[in-house]
Chain A
Amino acid sequence: MLTLPGEVDVAGVVQRLVEEHGDGLAALLLDPVLRSPLPNALILLNGVEINNLDGLGTRVGDGDTLVLLAVAHGG
């Protein structure tokens, strides 16, 4: 459960999570060059992958469920 002020998009939620959970989560989710989660993570908002919506700019509303799956590990 994450409480966020006002209107926020997926990029804002990811930024907040990284701020709260530190370098470990950042290393897992964010590309070190682009500082973006898109290359290394699969992100679903209410079961829909965000590239099927508006990407990192997809609006996140009250009660929405955001799933972040690190792609680049483990076979």
Chain B
Amino acid sequence: MKVAPLCTKCGSKPSVYFRPYSGERLCPGCFAASIRERVERTISRFRMFEFDSRIAVGVSGGKDSLSLLHLLVEIEEQFPKAEVIAVSIDEGVRGYRDEALRLAGEACRSLGVEWRTLSFADLFGLTMDEITGRRGELTPCSYCGVLRRRALNQAARDVEADRLATAHNLDDMAQTALLNLMRGDLRRLAGMHPAGSDLPGFVRRVKPFCEVPERESTLYAYLRGIEFQSRPCPYAETAMRTDIRRFLNRMEVKRPGIKFIIYRAALEIIPRISVGGAEPSGRCRICGEPTRGDVCRVCQLVGELSKEAEGEQPS
């Protein structure tokens, strides 16, 4: 069997991973250290946290969020006044989310982290399985994205957090940049910045994993022995994001580093985007949450689904 070369960082241990975009060959210890250093640098560069932040971490039970939870708990040990709380959302996808929630709960117990869950059923009166059965032209991901964002914000507010950390990785960032360009949605492109922003009614969302490629997040979880969700969401295949993800993954094999290039280009573009009326200016007349219009997107979607269930045509 071929023997792997020595680690290019420490020079003493056999490497287990070749990093195509930098040419490094890394042993498990140097690989894990490089991920932690990158996350710490990202947090510092974008000033994501204060020394005494109360951080709600969105934990789905997947590889990215569980890795982020482990890392933030370790980093937070250096900041005695900071706190980490895990929040999970049960979207109600039978046979999928139940496995993930079990893994999230086990991780929180082993790390000694407070864990709070909220469900779509409790918040909106519908599960994703029910929504998928009723939906019109929108994909399941279109509903899930809007409702999960609201649910995570609600969960972060419930635990009185001042930051909501999500595990969006480099792949997510590059996909989102391309997706919003292809849809011509500059408002959403402007809103994808990893540092988030302070908006009334919203807990500031930050993305400490935004410069960690999905492959490396997976390897990090595997090498650390973190048990994570084993199956994909049954509804994911319908999303336009899936097409972009496949395209980018093919491109990354041919041209390593292309996801970083797209991500960095997006960061350059974002400050130059001028979108009038991007911030919520009022409150939804139904739920009272911040919105730019009369009725927020969550109430629009839930209202349409409720009308369909009653046999009416959505207006």
Contacts and interface: CB of A to CB of B under 8 A. Distances in A.
Interface of A: 28, 31-34, 36, 38-40, 42, 44, 46-49, 51-54, 58-59, 61, 64, 67, 69-75
A49 B16 contact: yes
A70 B222 CA distance: 12
A31 B2 contact: no
Interface residues of B, number: 40
A72 to B, nearest CB: 6
Interface in B1-51: 1-2, 4-5, 14-18, 20, 25
| 8 smallest beta-carbon distances between A and B, as pairs | A74-B62, A73-B232, A39-B249, A52-B18, A75-B64, A75-B62, A51-B18, A74-B229
Contacts of B172: 75
B82 interface: no
A54 B16 contact: no
A35 to B, nearest CB: 11
A53 to B, nearest CB: 5
B2 A53 contact: yes
Nearest to A28: B232
B167 A75 contact: yes
Nearest to B26: A52
B252 A39 contact: yes
Contacts of A47: 16
A48 B214 contact: no
Interface string B138-153: 0000000000000000
Contacts of A38: 253
Contact of A74 (B25, B63, B215, B246): B63
Contacts of B100: 74
A52 B245 contact: no
A59 B174 CA distance: 34
Contacts of A40: 246, 249
A71 B65 contact: no
Contact of B232 (A36, A46, A48, A70): A70
B236 interface: yes
30 contacts: A32-B246, A36-B253, A39-B253, A40-B246, A40-B249, A42-B215, A44-B222, A46-B1, A48-B16, A49-B17, A51-B20, A52-B4, A52-B16, A52-B17, A52-B18, A61-B1, A64-B1, A69-B222, A72-B171, A72-B214, A72-B232, A72-B246, A73-B62, A73-B232, A73-B233, A74-B61, A74-B63, A74-B64, A75-B62, A75-B64
A71 B250 contact: no
Contacts of B15: 48, 52
Given A38-B253, A39-B253, A49-B17, A71 B218 contact: yes
Given A72-B249, A74-B60, 7 more contacts: A48-B14, A48-B16, A51-B18, A53-B4, A72-B171, A72-B246, A73-B231
Contacts of B252: 39
A58 B4 CA distance: 11
Given A70-B232, A74-B233, A75-B62, A49 B214 contact: no
B67 to A, nearest CB: 10
Given A48-B4, A49-B219, A52-B25, A74 B232 contact: yes
A70 B229 CA distance: 11
Contacts of B60: 74-75
B228 interface: yes
B193 interface: no
Contact of A71 (B1, B215, B229): B215
